Structure 1
Amino acid sequence: MSIVSENEMIRIIREKAGLSQEDFCDGICSKQALSCIENGKNGVSPITFEIFAQRANMNVKPFPCFADERDYDCYMDLHRADFLIDSWQFDSAYLELEKVENNNFSDNRFYYQKWLMLNCKILVLTEKYDYKNVSDLILEALRVTYPEYRQGTLKRKLLSSIEIELLSMLADAYIGMGENTQASELIEYLEEYLKKIKISVVALFMLSSYVGYLKEKLCLINNDYETLLDHSNRWYKNAVIHHRSIPIFRFASMNAIALYKTGSINEAITMFKEVLAVGSFINSVFVNQCLDYIKSYTDISLAEFDNIIYNQIGFTPKKFRTHYAARLKAGVYSTSDDKIIKFGGILRLLRNRRGLTASKVYTGLCSKSMYSKVENDKALPSVILAKALLERVGITENLFDFFGNDKEFKFLDLKERSASLSIFDEEKAKSIIEEMKSLDISEDKLVNQEIQLLSNIFAPDSKDKTEKFLSIIEETQKDFSFEELGRPLTNTEFAIVQHYIRGLFKTNNEDSIGQGIDICLRLIKYYESLNYDITQYRVNLPMLYMIVAPNLQKQGRAYELESICLKCKTELMQSHIYIKASIIYYWQIYKYTLQSDPALEKEIRSNCYALKLFIKNDIVFRGVRNKVTSIGIQLT
């Protein structure tokens, strides 16, 4: 079945939420414009689609259809900026935000609202800002969708994720200005609202964790250290599970203060060491906030931290000017406009930007004639094929949703569930495989490939199992060869390759391990040569680095290990702190075994503290501790 249009989905979303057109479009567009959208006469920008879906409390990502190329660029630039901010790369984020401003927000006020929100987010993360000025900027952003915003009227409103984040930052600014009653009321409202909404697990955690952090700030102000200890400990453990650095830093610091105030001085010092080590490791401005916490709430001497590496981080936020939002539009456009970029247009745009021929995109996925129809918007593919085609042109994240029949929805849900399975979940895997087969769509080569992959992952280890991964990839990559990587890989194809390499490393055979290393290094070189953006790189390259590094260490291949280590010190790895720290740890240990050095010993100790902040399992960290102890380094 072909994918369903965005217009029909917006109508379905509204009707499922039981909302009238008037309530649904409040603050977004006119009732007449919404009627034209639902009737297919108008289209909407993805950011406008997102706001519609979130207002209806639906966990649905936008449909990939854009008013023009500027619309596409603004959407992706803001997505990259958000990612860069979450990994503390503020200077790079400013470059993306500048692109959006130079494109005049694609004349879309919702892009302007998100742009304002992200600029404010950078200021708030520095923890050193003019609270009154930022609160005024936040209110301006809120009034893009609620021109007459007042805190008392919120209970009658439906909120988008952008609005929730803006309100959280407003509560943060209130705390900074000493308006704790207003902050407390807003925090309480947001906490209750977040219990009712349906968004992705990660998005909900990030929004809820910020509100949780604000509650802890109030505990700190009220000297309620017992509550702070319990609350911060629970949230810190959740943050480690989700592997998100901003909440990890926040809750670990609060936990350290609470430990100190309740008498666990040594534990507090250790926790502060971990935060300082990680913050310095990735040049996060949170180091400065952590040092302020130590000075303001404890009597701990900074001499306690002399055995690790940490530095205050210099950063000056950029000044930005506000714009007249009323001049901007709602991201609604006529479907008869010849500038519209539909699904086929996106494939063509990205294929040309990546320098790919059409055959490199469609081969193994569909026929040449089918792809020609899709790229020229003469036909729509199935949901499963649509996602695979986007992955071939470089969009490997689930940025967009496609809407098809129940079987396709069920298959994609099962595929997502299978991605979170561990090697110990054999029974769950069998159940998912049986459900996939029962959908009766396994004649689709992409579905069949997924079923074969999952079945082989949970088969007993053997040489045949490892070799079978190569036959599975040939479902969509005929005559596949690591010697000559001609076509980009879909997410499933990359997973197959990854499991094949892991199988080679499990053999403990020197030749097989050497073969696995050579394949990994070839893949790394290939991905580094692709003209893809940071969102593509953060999916595949870090995983390849992590797989190959310990095996390079085992084989004593110092030059290649050092090369991987240097790659991990670039901005690319800022969002993969645990992987980055692990790989540098392998290199440091290797160097130290060749020649001990006091400076290197300090680096290793700092890196171990950085790893500990991200390892919730004490048994796992015991392996790290035992390794460094065996070479004569003590973690104190």
Structure 2
Amino acid sequence: MAVYVVGDFLRETRLRKGYTQEEVSYGICTPASLSRIENGAQKPGRLILEKLFERLGTENNLFNTFVNREEMELYSAIQELIRNITDQDVSKIETQVEIVEKMTKETSVLENQCLYFAKGELSRQRDKNNEKAMELYMKAIHITLPDFDGKNPLRKNLLTFDEIMIINAIAILYVNNDEIMTAIQLDMWLKEYMENKLVDGKTKTAKYPMILYNLSCWLDDEGYHKESLEMAEQGLEFCIKYGNLFFFPILVANKGVALAGLGKMEEAKEQLHQAIMIFKSMKQNDHIQLIIDWCRTNYGIEF
């Protein structure tokens, strides 16, 4: 598809949403480069184009732009690495990191964001080294958000999907370090951003329930059972509407836990029993045992 069509679409979407070139391009490319792309004077690489679309709150489903075969191969390798991170498959992350690392030696720093993020995941999941993981996460996020201090939301900034994933990973580290309120603050920022800035799409369908699930867990841990219940119910409504089967049963379980915290035991038992039945049908016995153990330990409930 002609470059000028891509540029026209970018410009029209940006203007319709009321964003400046500086807001959209920040950390991805220069405003001058975005101007040239919009005017059809510069052909964007696939990764840059994708990040620009994400800053505009949409997914790049219409345009496939590759400068050359090497760029196409690198883009595919990075997408595979992102899938490995999402699946939390440590062995595949290790293998794919090596592949991407060899391919990024002569590329721009933007391609390294996912690589640093993946190494951070390895430090957290494989090595149990939260300090090193935080260092790598911050190195990744600073490629495109150099002003982010790791704790305070940048509510005026537009975000890409990778930035959302990295910020969420940083929030998880704060939970591991018993700084739950900092984690809640970060994921509340992501929740509000995804509600207000992102259109419906496959990535939002996958990531938005994850943010609500995290918030439900963390709020309940801090004793905010009512707020935890609200997050779980909001997540369930979204999963039903958009068909996210992965997070649906664990959000049902979270709803039961929050109801138990509010003293609504009959409703809690009903929700927890439903969660067990769904996990059973999905053959996820580990989740079933966790619910059974939690109910017995905390409330003396037997299933």
Structure 2: how far apart are the matches of 1:120 and 1:43? 32
Structure 1 residue 145 displacement after superposition: 0.5
Query: Match for residue 616 of structure 1?
Result: none
Contact 1:6 1:63 survives alignment (8 Å): yes
Instruction: Determine if the alignment matches structure 1 residue 232 to structure 2 residue 236.
Output: no
Q: Secondary structure at the match of 2:196?
A: coil
**Residue identity in the other structure for 2:37:** I
Query: Match for residue 222 of structure 1?
Result: 222
Structure 1 residue 256 displacement after superposition: 4.6
Listed one character per residue, the Cα deviations across residues 506-553 of structure 1 (whole Å, up to 9, x for unaligned) are xxxxxxxxxxxxxxxxxxxxxxxxxxxxxxxxxxxxxxxxxxxxxxxx
2:297 to 296, 299, 302: 299
Q: Quick one: structure 1 residues 135 and 295, their matched pair in 2 at CA, closer, same or farther if it must change by over 3 Å? A: farther
Q: Secondary structure at the match of 1:196?
A: helix
Structure 1 residue 245 displacement after superposition: 4.7
Structure 1 residue 216 displacement after superposition: 0.9
Query: Match for residue 271 of structure 1?
Result: 275
Structure 1 residue 142 displacement after superposition: 0.8
**Residue identity in the other structure for 2:139:** E
Contact 1:256 1:272 survives alignment (8 Å): no
Query: TM-score, normalised to structure 2's length?
Result: 0.76
Q: Quick one: structure 1 residues 80 and 165, their matched pair in 2 at CA, closer, same or farther if it must change by over 3 Å? A: same
Structure 1 residue 144 displacement after superposition: 0.8
Contact 1:202 1:242 survives alignment (8 Å): no
Contact 2:249 2:278 survives alignment (8 Å): no
Contact 2:117 2:140 survives alignment (8 Å): yes
Query: Match for residue 247 of structure 2?
Result: 247
Query: Match for residue 64 of structure 1?
Result: 64
Structure 1 residue 42 displacement after superposition: 2.9
Structure 2: how far apart are the matches of 1:235 and 1:153? 22
Q: Quick one: structure 1 residues 46 and 227, their matched pair in 2 at CA, closer, same or farther if it must change by over 3 Å? A: same
Query: Match for residue 33 of structure 1?
Result: 33
Contact 2:28 2:144 survives alignment (8 Å): yes
Q: Quick one: structure 1 residues 245 and 74, their matched pair in 2 at CA, closer, same or farther if it must change by over 3 Å? A: farther
Contact 2:57 2:197 survives alignment (8 Å): yes
Instruction: Determine if the alignment matches structure 1 residue 184 to structure 2 residue 188.
Output: no
Q: Secondary structure at the match of 2:154?
A: helix
Query: Match for residue 109 of structure 2?
Result: 109
Structure 2: how far apart are the matches of 1:237 and 1:30? 40
Larger Rg, first or second structure (1 or 2): 1
Q: Quick one: structure 1 residues 58 and 83, their matched pair in 2 at CA, closer, same or farther if it must change by over 3 Å? A: closer
Structure 2: how far apart are the matches of 1:299 and 1:135? 33
Listed one character per residue, the Cα deviations across residues 182-204 of structure 1 (whole Å, up to 9, x for unaligned) are 22322332232222213333322
Query: TM-score, normalised to structure 1's length?
Result: 0.40
Identity %: 17
Q: Secondary structure at the match of 1:66?
A: coil
Listed one character per residue, the Cα deviations across residues 112-146 of structure 1 (whole Å, up to 9, x for unaligned) are 2134445556887x699444433332221110102
Query: Match for residue 257 of structure 1?
Result: 257
Structure 1: how far apart are the matches of 2:93 and 2:145? 27
Contact 1:120 1:138 survives alignment (8 Å): yes
Q: Quick one: structure 1 residues 174 and 54, their matched pair in 2 at CA, closer, same or farther if it must change by over 3 Å? A: same
Q: Quick one: structure 1 residues 195 and 274, their matched pair in 2 at CA, closer, same or farther if it must change by over 3 Å? A: closer
Contact 2:77 2:99 survives alignment (8 Å): yes
**Residue identity in the other structure for 2:216:** E
Query: Match for residue 144 of structure 2?
Result: 145
Q: Quick one: structure 1 residues 174 and 114, their matched pair in 2 at CA, closer, same or farther if it must change by over 3 Å? A: same
Structure 1 residue 72 displacement after superposition: 0.8
Q: Quick one: structure 1 residues 213 and 52, their matched pair in 2 at CA, closer, same or farther if it must change by over 3 Å? A: same
Structure 2: how far apart are the matches of 1:248 and 1:123? 29
Q: Quick one: structure 1 residues 274 and 152, their matched pair in 2 at CA, closer, same or farther if it must change by over 3 Å? A: closer
**Residue identity in the other structure for 1:147:** P
Q: Quick one: structure 1 residues 256 and 121, their matched pair in 2 at CA, closer, same or farther if it must change by over 3 Å? A: farther
Structure 1: how far apart are the matches of 2:283 and 2:121? 18
Q: Report 1 or 2 for greater relative contact order, CA contacts < 8 Å, sequence distance ≥ 6.
A: 1
Query: Match for residue 198 of structure 1?
Result: 198
